[in-house]
Amino acid sequence: MNSYIKEVLERTHKKYSWEHEFLQAATEVLESLNLIIERVPKYKKHRILERITEPERIITFRVPWQDDRGEIRVNTGYRVEFNSTLGPYKGGLRFHPSVTLSGLKFLGFEQTFKNSLTGLPIGGGKGGSDFNVTGRSDNEVMRFCQSFMNELYRHVGPDTDVPAGDIGVGGREIGYLFGQYKKLVNRFEGWITGKGLNWGGSLIRPEATGFGAIYFAEEMLKMKNDTLEGKTLAVSGFGNVAWGCALKASELGAKIIAISGPDGFVYDKDGIIGEKIDYMLKMRASGKDIVEDYVKKFSSAEFFPGKRPWGLNCDIALPCAIQNELDENDAKELTKNQCKMVIEVSNMGCTPEAIQIFQQNNIPFAPGKAANAGGVATSGLEMSQNSMRLKWDKNEVDAKLKNIMINIHNNCIEAADEYSFTGDYISGANIAGFKKVADAMIEQGLV
């Protein structure tokens, strides 16, 4: 390993020894920058690695709210404003009991490179709270969102920091957050994306992460003179991202055979198509966070409690749920079952050991920051429409999204060819994302 990279990684590990997820993300990115750091001395001269691994600003705050029984509850709110070199901080808000500062730092760090890959003028950030949406009434969620905004509003804005949804933050939560911001600042502004379609949201934004991942898969298959037609896909999760994948995959002649939830996974031998895709939305809207209901409705399906879908025979695996959801044993299972390709759609969905197994077995692997960038890219397109006070039609947004995903794919390939190994999408994405941010940081001086 390059000595500068080694030095920075050692110092970061020492300084933030308890931040496991952040250290995992930082290690993966820095380790893939060996050649470019060796060949381009200005990055060390300007101490870019120390600067790029340190968030520009972190805000943490108390979020007090009252549940329906009148009990007072307290959660923690965060916003990690990681890097604003390429544009306003941009990245989702996650409401989930697993949320910690380490987790949000890893997500904000990843987001910086992902957003750079999109080619749009957006910096990187992430935020959220350890609030658990599951089982809460609409009124409870509204009171929580309003309390969260009572602090967050002073740190965000259309030219400062533009959040969006993530796990636990969908259309309902974005509505409540938006309403409270408008009330507090007395301005109708595009300071958050994923808005309702009647009040500034973009068409295709709900579908965008899934659509983008499938467009990326198409490009990877094209490199092998192959297509999605007839392929079987195993997906984890059953939220917005998995739903978008199912819609686009079925349109292109592929078949999603599995989805999953915290309770287990569903295997549908006939494929999740047509009304079954719509049913995913109904399950999500029920607020129960389980997938077992699917088998009560569709007899072609079987439910496997407590299990993940990686033991199935499938052509392509798409983890779409949460970080580190696919481990070494899952990777061995997929390899044994002749899985041909893995598209990581969740952020850092695969453990480093799992990725190593895929690489050893020459299974093409797309990292989340490239494959799932369609979501934030379409958020960028929502910002453009808000600035212009215009609304593009579905086809226009979708065509732009597809074009962005093709460009990301090609930029990964080119960067890997130049500074790593041909076909290594991980280092390709890290290098291509890094180079733009790092060069712009140097151009903007020591700030």
Site string for ligand 2IT, 349-368 (x = CB under 6 A): --------------------
Q: How far apart are CA 312 and CA 329, in angstroms?
A: 13
Closer to ligand 2IT at the Cβ: 354 or 381?
381
Task: Considering only the stretches 272-280, 301-309, 329-337, 375-383, report the one whose residues sit in contact with ligand 2IT under the rule CB under 6 A.
Answer: 375-383
With binding defined as CB under 6 A, does residue 5 bind ligand 2IT? Answer: no
Closer to ligand 2IT at the Cβ: 94 or 231?
94
Strand order in the sheet with 301-305: 301-305, 264-268, 255-261, 232-235, 316-318, 341-343, 365-366
Among 379, 385, 386, 430, binds ligand 2IT (CB under 6 A): 379
Q: How far apart are CA 163 and CA 156, in angstroms?
A: 8
Among 83, 193, 351, 420, binds ligand 2IT (CB under 6 A): 193
- Tell me which residue has its CB nearest to ligand 2IT: 92
Number of residues that bind ligand 2IT (CB under 6 A): 11
Task: Name the H helices within 286-351.
Answer: 293-297, 328-336
Site for ligand 2IT in 152-171 (CB under 6 A): 164, 166
Query: Which residue is it, tokens 């307290």?
Result: 74
Convert 139-170 to b/e letters by CB count within 10 Å (16 or more is b): ebbbbbbbbbbbebbebbbeeebbbbbbbbbb
At position 58, the amino acid (one-letter code) is: I
Closer to ligand 2IT at the Cβ: 85 or 193?
193
Q: At closest approach, how far in Å is the CB of 226 from ligand 2IT? A: 27
List active site positions: 126
Residue 408 in contact with residue 216, Cβ under 8 Å? yes
With binding defined as CB under 6 A, does residue 385 bind ligand 2IT? Answer: no
With binding defined as CB under 6 A, does residue 375 bind ligand 2IT? Answer: yes
Task: Considering only the stretches 87-95, 134-142, 144-152, 230-238, report the one whose residues sit in contact with ligand 2IT under the rule CB under 6 A.
Answer: 87-95
Closer to ligand 2IT at the Cβ: 380 or 428?
380
Query: CB burial class (10 A; 0-12, 13-18, 19+) of residue 334?
Result: buried
Query: Which residue is it, tokens 């350890």?
Result: 130
Q: How far apart are CA 68 and CA 76, in angstroms?
A: 19
Binding site for ligand 2IT (CB under 6 A): 90-92, 111, 164, 166, 193, 347, 375-376, 379
